Amino acid sequence: MYLNDLIRFLRIPSISALPEHAPDVRHAAEFVRDWLDRAGLDNARLIEGAGNPLVRAEWSGAPGKPTLLLYGHYDVQPPDPLDEWISPPFEPTIRDGNLFARGAADDKGQLFILMEAVAQGLRERKTLPVNVKFLIEGEEETSGQHIESYMPSHASELHADAAVICDTAMFAPGLPTLTTGLRGIVYGEIQVQGARSDLHSGDYGGAAPNAVEAAAQIICALKDRAGHILIPGLYDRVEPPSPAELNAWKRLPFDLEEYREKEVGARALTGESGIPLFERIWARPTLELHGIRGGFTGEGAKTVIPARAVAKISLRLVPDQRPEEVLNQLLAAIDQATPCGVTARFELLAASPPCLVDPGHPLIQKAAEAMQKVFGRETVYVRCGGSIPIVGLFAQALGIPSVMMGFGLPDDNIHAPNEKLSLLNYSRGIEAVTEYFERSGRD
Of 269-328, binders to a copy of itself (CB under 8 A) are 269-272, 277, 280-281, 284, 286-297, 300-306, 310, 312, 314, 316
Let me know: does 59 contact 152? Beta carbons within 8 Å.
Answer: no
**String of contacts with a copy of itself for each residue 150-189, x by CB under 8 A:** ---------------------------------x-x-xx-
Which residues within the stretch 33-62 sit at the binding site for a copy of itself (CB under 8 A)?
Answer: none
Q: What are the distances in angstroms from CA 291 to CA 6, 49, 304, 313, 360?
A: 38, 34, 19, 8, 41
> Residue 313 Cβ, how far from a copy of itself at the closest point, in Å?
9
Q: State which residue, 173 or 410, has the beta carbon closest to a copy of itself.
A: 410
Residue of 393, 401, 323 lying closest to 144 (CA atoms): 393
Cβ distance to a copy of itself smaller for residue 38 or 302: 302
**In the bound complex, what is the minimum distance in angstroms from residue 126's beta carbon to a copy of itself?**
42
Query: Closest distance between a copy of itself and the C-beta of residue 381, in Å?
Result: 17
Sole binder of a copy of itself in the list 178, 215, 397, 430 (CB under 8 A): 215
Task: Tell me the pairing of strands 98-100 and 177-182.
Answer: unpaired
**185-204 residues near a copy of itself, rule: CB under 8 A:** 185, 187-188, 194-197, 199-204
Beta bridge partners of 192: 309, 344
Instruction: For Cα atoms 312, 314, 317, give the angle at the middle one, nearest 5 degrees.
Output: 175
Q: Using the minimum distance from each CB to a copy of itself, give the nearer residue, 198 or 431.
A: 198
Instruction: Please state the closest distance from residue 441 (CB atom) to a copy of itself, in A.
Output: 34
Restricting to residues 423-442, name those near a copy of itself by CB under 8 A.
none
Residue 83 sits in the site that holds a copy of itself (CB under 8 A):
no
CA–CA distance, 79 with 259 (Å, rounded to integer) = 26
- DSSP string of 332-400, one letter each residue: HHHHHHPPTT-EEEEEEEEEE--EE--TTSHHHHHHHHHHHHHHSSPPEEEEESS--HHHHHIIIII--
Q: Is-contact 153 397, C-beta < 8 A?
A: no
The least CB distance from residue 305 to a copy of itself, in Å, is 6
Q: Is 349 in the site for a copy of itself (CB under 8 A)?
A: yes
Please identify, using beta-carbon distances, which residue of 138 and 294 lies nearer to a copy of itself. 294
Give the CB-side neighbour count of residue 91, counting CA atoms within 13 A.
5
For a copy of itself, the closer CB: 99 or 208: 208
What is the C-alpha to C-alpha distance for residues 13 and 30, in angstroms, rounded to an integer? Answer: 13
Shortest distance, CB of residue 244 to a copy of itself, whole angstroms? 21
SS3 251: coil
Cα 300 from Cα 307, distance rounded (Å) = 20
Answer for which of 125, 253, 257, 266 binds a copy of itself (CB under 8 A) is: 266
Q: For the chain, how big is the Rg over CA atoms in Å?
A: 24
In whole angstroms, the minimum distance from the beta carbon of 287 to a copy of itself comes to 8
CA 124 to chain centroid, in Å, comes to 34
Instruction: For residue 406, give the nearest of 371, 363, 441, 362 by alpha carbon.
Output: 371
- Shortest reach from residue 77's CB to a copy of itself, in Å: 12
Q: What is the DSSP string of 401-435?
A: -EEEE--B-TTS-TTSTT-EEEHHHHHHHHHHHHH
**Residue list 109-148, contact with a copy of itself (CB under 8 A):** 143
Whose Cβ is closer to a copy of itself: residue 299's or residue 443's?
Answer: 299
Between 183 and 428, name the residue whose CB sits nearer to a copy of itself: 183
Q: Which is nearer to a copy of itself, 110 or 314 (CB)?
A: 314
Residue from 7, 18, 216, 331 binding a copy of itself (CB under 8 A): 216
Site for a copy of itself in 219-238 (CB under 8 A): 219-220, 223, 225, 227
CB of 186 to a copy of itself, least distance (A): 10
Report how many residues bind a copy of itself under the rule CB under 8 A: 80
What binding mask, one character per residue, do residues 357-386 give for a copy of itself by CB under 8 A, x or -? ---------------------------xxx
Segment holding 119, helix H or strand E: helix 108-125
Applying CB under 8 A, among 44, 128, 170, 212 the residue interacting with a copy of itself is 212
Per-residue DSSP letters for 17-74?
T-GGGHHHHHHHHHHHHHHHHHTT-EEEEEE-SSSSPEEEEEE---TTS-EEEEEEE-
Longest dimension (CA), the chain: 83
Of residues 130 and 169, the one with the C-beta less far from a copy of itself: 169
Q: Please, what is the minimum distance in Å from the beta carbon of residue 199 to a copy of itself?
A: 7
Contacts to a copy of itself from residues 386-425, by CB under 8 A: 386-387, 415
CA 361 to chain centre: 22
